[in-house]
Amino acid sequence: MKLNGIFWLMILGTALVIVMLFSLSVGAVRISPQRIIALFFQGPGSSEYSIIFDIRLPRIILGFAIGGALSLAGVILQGLFRNPLVEPYTLGISGGAALGVSLNIVLGLAAVSRLSLPLSGFLGAAAVIGFLYLANFRRGMVNLQGLLLNGVMISFIASSLVMLLLSLTSTESLQGIIFWIMGSLGETDGTLIKAMLAVSLAVLALSYMFCLHLNAFALGEEEALHLGIPVERTKQMLFLMTGILVGFCVSVAGVIGFIGLVVPHFMRKVVGHDHRILLMASFLAGAIFLIFCDTIARTIIAPLELPVGVITGIAGGSVFVYAFARERGQTHA
């Protein structure tokens, strides 16, 4: 790992701490960073302690896990498909999760158990993952082009079915489906937050077993095979890893777009194409981006809260379009 890469990882790590402290500080009740640090050494009992540890910190941990996971999934998929426009939701996994949650809300299962909502989302995502794997796995080989095309088609079908449910359901269910689809870090179940954090960190660690494989994939599958990379087994493992990662993210927080597309794209320009650096850099940058966007979402029109997916879409899309236009302008100059 180059010294330049380590330098950027240190910068991103420092930025992550700053953004976390900023997010803990701002809100309906402003708490200074010095007071926050003091609260970490005090026991419970004060209202400020409850605000920090019961409301804001769980959101930040969830934002860290999901932002990092979506960005990591984007890096892996873009390296696997050798296409910078592929993102975690391209494969239809989010569409399957959205359809599962929509059916749950329409059938009223959420009233039975609050955990049924993320469970139905994960089952919907798992169904899509299973279908894509079976449909594109033949004679020990994964057809990446077929995987991408099938994923896009499943995404369209799932979106159409969700729209059908929206047109037939009651107003109460309609609001629940729309709010969930736009994404939120308002999950309060500690078990789900811990599970999401554990899954995202586990897949991050596991992805480093394939960082050199992803570097070789940039040369093409034939070149990677000549370099001794088990191409087909690597494709299967990377697809399953990203599928599980995205399935967990969508089932816990809904559909939060643009992170898996925008963050890896910019990190590739900043730290280069070496996945030994790019994987961790994208994970940290994705976490920073989502925590910051969530802070804006819950404070910009306080006491009301915007869905975080709205902020990531506007911010990520605007920055991406601006950067792309500027890059084209420099190319033609």
Domain boundaries, the chain: 3-327
How far is residue 213's CA from residue 211's CA, in Å, rounded to a whole number? 5
Which residue numbers in the chain have pLDDT < 70?
1-3, 110-114, 139-140, 327-333
**Quick one: pLDDT at residue 190?**
86
**Quick one: pLDDT at residue 148?**
84
Cβ–Cβ under 8 Å, residues 78 and 264: yes
**Quick one: pLDDT at residue 331?**
55
Strands (DSSP E) contained in the chain are 137-138, 141-142
State the Rg of the chain over Cα: 20
Neighbours of 60 (CB within 10 A): 21
**Quick one: pLDDT at residue 139?**
66
Burial bucket for residue 299 (CB in 10 Å: 0-12, 13-18, 19+) = middle
How far is residue 43's CA from residue 277's CA, in Å, rounded to a whole number? 39
pLDDT tens digits along 7-19: 899 999 999 999 9
**Quick one: pLDDT at residue 28?**
81
Instruction: Record the pTM.
Output: 0.89
User: Given 3.40.50.2300, 1.10.3470.10, 1.10.3720.10, 3.20.20.70, which CATH number is that of 3-327?
Assistant: 1.10.3470.10
